[in-house]
Amino acid sequence: MTPMGTTTTIIASARLQAYRATLETKLKHPRCMKISCTQETNTKGGKPASRSNLTQNFSSERNLGTLAVISDITWKRFSYEKKRYYHSLSGVRDLLKRVRMVHSSKNQSSQKGEVILACDRFVRTDTKDSLSKMAKLIDGKQIASDIRSELREQIVKWIQQGHRAPQLTAILIGDDPASNTYVANKMKAATDVGIVSKTERYSSDITEEQLLRRIEELNLDDAVDGILVQLPVPDHINERKVCNSVSCGKDVDGFNERNIGRLCLDMNTLIPCTPLGVQELIKRCQIETFGKNVVVVGRSKNVGMPIAMLLHADGRNDTCAMDATVTICHRFTPPSELARFCKSADIVITATGVPGLITADMIKEGAAVIDVGITRVVDPVTGKNKLVGDVDYDEARKVAGHITPVPGGVGPMTVAMLMKNTFIAAKNLAKK
Ligand code: NAD
């Protein structure tokens, strides 16, 4: 844990004041009708705290840190009122544990700072960064690793309950090195969390009919929970037909048109992994979306569009979306308009594959910047290949409040969400 120094405590104190203000607003919100989950936080134990109890308590500086964290979670419980919101619950529990630990700590002088660290577990900040107002790095690698640990535990329990291990089958066509690497990473991640994985490789001259027949066999195979066909497929194969041929229940990529339709109707479904990863990053970093302005740059059906769906839709429905006001920009948005929309956004999410498209002057101070883009370029200094996003990262970092690096931001989340979808598919199929 970062050592506590005077600077950290001052910053922490300022953050606590900010939490106090947010909390006050939230408690007044009409949806916040009653508070029942604060039991865990009520240090005196026993009864759930009432709204007035909370309001009283949070005037005490000592409880403020806990209340800030808890009330935020509590409020979301009320505003969303859906179980699926809690797929991050173990992360929340972990926060609670740490906050309680801090409260029982005898070292009162470090208390405030540590509470803040508990809130900010998923963002990397060092004291130097805080002082120079650098954006907090959203550590996608860490968050993905946490999700994988949670899944590992859940899968162990699942097997202990007498179920077989979840099974994921990947279909890889041709010898594209990037596709090979993606599939290898996914399969490695599967093994890591306790999912049995299998890769079926086919040469690029496989016919569409042969491929569809094989997918149908996998659909009917009770031992298979998830099927993913690594895209792109060769030109002579109709990609949409292939995506639609994977049965909805096993469609762990969420590309079947019926699953996409359900997502658009805010219904329970398997959601595409990258958009789901973006949503999870935002949730776990506690970036506020309710009523905020979000710009999504890129409108592809697998990435930009579902991200926009998850951001703007009603959080009370099954997809636990995020109630933001969303603007979608694309290749025909004039650059000046793109800049104008981005500049007014509290969150910019970009998924275009155009390096350097989003520059620092397009970002509002303190905004969150999520960079989904991944492009391989040659580093002019080293002459070696490297991966870059859509954002001019080094400059944008000086303006933004939160920012994802590339690599190490959204990428690892996509793989973690694939594991999560596979486990969801396994549980759904077991119910049948
Ligand atoms: P795509 O080519 O299907 O879509 C690109 C989108 O960007 C289009 O909607 C297009 O209108 C928009 N666009 C292009 N130029 C633009 C411009 N100048 N201004 C505004 N919009 C512009 O690509 P995709 O599949 O959506 O992927 C987008 C990026 O995300 C790629 O770099 C891809 O590698 C990356 N990606 C990353 C992950 C991950 O796990 N991190 C997953 C999928 C895709």
User: How many percent of the chain have pLDDT more than 70?
Assistant: 69
Please write the tens of the pLDDT for every residue from 147-199.
Answer: 999 999 999 999 999 999 999 999 999 999 999 999 999 999 999 999 999 99
**274 in ligand 1 pocket by Cβ < 6 Å?**
yes
Would you say the CB of residue 307 lies under 6 angstroms from ligand 1?
A: no
Rounded CA separation 326/349 (Å): 10
Q: Is the CB of 144 under 6 A from ligand 1?
A: no
> How many whole angstroms from 33 Cα to the centroid of ligand 1?
41
Catalytic hit among 26, 112, 136, 186: 186
Q: What is the pLDDT of residues 353-388, one digit of tens each?
A: 999 999 999 999 999 999 999 999 999 889 999 999
253 is catalytic: yes
Q: Say what the pLDDT of residue 346 is.
A: 98
pLDDT at 238 over 50: yes
Question: Ligand 1 pocket, 331 CB below 6 A?
Answer: yes
**Stronger pLDDT, 40 or 338, i.e. the higher one:** 338
Q: What is the pLDDT of residue 356?
A: 96
Q: What is the pLDDT of residues 324-340, one digit of tens each?
A: 999 999 999 999 999 99
Q: Which atom of ligand 1 is nearest to the CA of 357?
A: 18
Which of 42-56, 78-92, 351-365 is least confident?
78-92
Banded model confidence at residue 27, pLDDT cuts 50, 70, 90: low
133 catalytic per annotation? no
Q: Give the model confidence (pLDDT) of 391-403 as tens digits.
A: 999 999 999 999 9
pLDDT recorded at residue 221:
98
Residue 47 has pLDDT above 70, yes or no: no
| C-alpha 292 to ligand 1 mean position (Å) | 23
Positive or negative torsion for Cα 287, 376, 188, 422: positive
Q: Residue 347: is its pLDDT beyond 90?
A: yes
Does any ligand 1 atom lie closer than 6 A to the CB of residue 358?
no
Q: Which atom of ligand 1 is nearest to the CA of 415?
A: 40
Q: Report the pLDDT averaged over residues 114-129.
A: 42
Residue identifier of the C-alpha nearest atom 16 of ligand 1: 331
- Tell me how far apart the alpha carbons of residues 380 and 357 are, in angstroms, rounded to a whole number: 18
Same fold, 136-141+261-412 and 164-253: yes
What number is the average pLDDT over the span 343-361?
98
Please report which confidence band the pLDDT of residue 19 belongs to, taking 50, 70 and 90 as the band edges: low
Q: What gap in Å lies between CA 163 and CA 160, rounded to an integer?
A: 7
Q: How confident is the model at residue 55 (pLDDT cuts 50, 70, 90)?
A: very low
| Contact call for residues 398 and 259 (beta carbons, < 8 A) | no
302 Cβ closer than 6 Å to some ligand 1 atom: yes
**Predicted confidence band of residue 20 (pLDDT cuts 50, 70, 90):** low
What is the fold of 164-253? Rossmann fold (3.40.50)
Q: From ligand 1's centre to the CA of 275, what distance in Å?
A: 12
Given a cut of 80, is residue 98 above it in pLDDT?
no
Predicted local confidence at residue 249, as pLDDT: 98
Main-chain phi, psi angles of 52, to 5 degrees: -70, -35
Give residue 18's pLDDT band: very low, low, confident or very high (50, 70, 90).
low
How many Å apart are CA 45 and CA 193, to the nearest integer?
36
pLDDT at position 369 is 98
Which pTM was predicted?
0.76
pLDDT tens digits for range 243-270: 999 999 999 999 999 999 999 999 999 9
Residue 432's pLDDT is what? 82
Task: List the structure tokens of 60.
Answer: 């005490």
Q: What is the mean pLDDT of the chain?
A: 80
Query: Model confidence at 88, in pLDDT bands (50, 70, 90)?
Result: very low
Domain 136-141+261-412 superfamily per CATH: NAD(P)-binding Rossmann-like Domain (3.40.50.720)
Residue 39: pLDDT over 90: no
Give residue 358's pLDDT: 98
Quick one: which atom of ligand 1 is closest to the CA of 335? 19
User: Domain extents for the chain?
Assistant: 14-123, 136-141+261-412, 164-253
Give yes or no for residue 132 having a pLDDT over 70.
no
- Does 375 sit in the ligand 1 pocket, CB within 6 Å? yes
What was the pLDDT predicted at 122?
52
Comparison of pLDDT for 408 and 119, the residue scoring more: 408
Percent of the chain with pLDDT over 90: 68
CA distance 364 to 31: 29
The stretch 109-119 carries a mean pLDDT of 33
Nearest-atom number in ligand 1 for the CA of 353 is 32
> pLDDT band for position 133 (50/70/90)?
confident
**Atom 35 of ligand 1 has which residue's CA nearest to it?**
373
